[in-house]
Amino acid sequence: MDEQQVLHPAVRGLKVICRCNNVKYRTIERAICDGARTLAGIAARTSATTGHCGGSCTPEVQQMLADLAPHAAPPPAAAPSSAKPDVWWVRKK
């Protein structure tokens, strides 16, 4: 298959990116959407790039990060521990 050919999203999602650990494109895509923004984050969530081959899929995963991370929603920011929410079920009278 020619790499320049654009794959249908359903077919692209089934493409195996990490052959050693059988990690598919869709799994890595979900990890990025869920907040993994580094190679180490992808490895921790999916085990991609951690196979016995030494990470031959690393360039492809890095390209996915470059393509998808800017478009993914940023992970939700944690509220400061000292902040007290002003909601009716927590508010003190």
Model pLDDT, residue 82: 53
Contact between residue 52 and residue 92 where contact means Cβ atoms under 8 Å apart: no
Short-list 25, 21, 22, CA closest to 50: 21
Digit-coded pLDDT (tens) for 24-62? 999 999 999 999 999 999 999 999 999 888 889 999 999
Q: Which residue has the higher pLDDT, 1 or 36?
A: 36
The three state secondary structure string of 6-66 is CCCHHHHHHCEEECCCCEEHHHHHHHHHCCCCCHHHHHHHHCCCCCCCCCCCHHHHHHHHH
